Structure 1
Amino acid sequence: MTFVTVAALLASIACVAAVDARYRLFAWRAPLPAALVLAAGVVFLLAWDAAGILLGIFFREPNAFSTGILLAPHLPLEEPVFLLFLCQLAMVGYTGCLRLLQSRTDRLGAEAQVETDTDTDGDAGVPVRHRTRAARGTGGSR
């Protein structure tokens, strides 16, 4: 009996939680809804596993890396821990992608706004990009 797989999964959960905490992406942003989403995901995937086990699709072979502790026939202790990790990673990844896309959209939107000149040379409010070089004072005289 070895706890290598469980230890690796718990370490991975801790690393994803650290990223989540640093950027306030999922559980650190809204703990109760995040807990409900994680619980729903794990329950759904455990039901999926149970259906696969009953149909003979999923089965467990003994190996040197798992604990050998079974929660049900062919359902090792590592499975719900892995499913928790899978759900957490998916949600942190999803919310992280949303944050990146929103940041990019905000940045591009700010850059796309037309700059206006507010000086008193008579063309105040005219977008800078529509003025001639001479009017902007960048072309000099030719």
Structure 2
Amino acid sequence: MTLLSFAYLGALLGAMAGMGLLDHRWRLALFHDARRTLVAVAASTALLLAWDVTAIVLGIFRIGASPGMTGIELGPHMPVEEPIFLVFLSYTSVVLWRLALRIPGLARPRRAQAGAEVT
């Protein structure tokens, strides 16, 4: 293995760290409601991993050769980078959804709770 073989994994981890910094700064997802964010990311990651495993079993998904990947497999045709990518994809989706809710006119207005003022 060379340094290049960790390029994709490093890029994923770096991008996830950057997303975490944005999340921290604007309190969008994990830093707004950690429990709900972790549940959403875990559930969507599990669903996407099940999708990948199904594709592998059906022979639709096969690992390709890439000098930017570690070559470490968690199982046949399941590179170690795949679950990390799926966590990043899920986390990014939650952060972007929470950001979209802050755009005026894009989010639905909240229903007023009894005795509470709508903000």
1:110 corresponding residue in structure 2: none
3-state SS of paired residue (1:63): coil
TM-score under structure 1 length normalisation: 0.70
- What is the number of residues matched between the two proteins? 106
The residue number in structure 2 matching 1:130 is none
Find the counterpart in structure 1 of residue 99 from structure 2.
96
Q: Counterparts of 1:92 and 1:68 in 2: how far apart (Å)?
A: 30
TM-score (norm 2): 0.83
| Superimposed CA distance per residue, residues 20-40 of structure 1 (whole angstroms, 9 cap, x where no aligned partner) | 111111100001111111111
Structure 2 unaligned spans of 5+: 110-119
Instruction: After TM superposition, give the deviation of residue 102 of structure 1 in Å.
Output: 5.8
Higher RCO (C-alpha 8 Å, min separation 6): 2
The aligned residue for residue 31 of structure 1 is 34
Matches within 5 A, 1:1-142: 1=1, 2-101=5-104
Q: Give 1:101 deviation, angstroms.
A: 3.1
**C-alpha distance in 1 between matches for 2:45 and 2:12:** 15
Q: Which protein shows a greater Rg?
A: 1
Paired residue for 2:112? none
Q: In 2 relative to 1, CA 23–51 (structure 1 residues): closer, same or farther, beyond 3 Å?
A: same
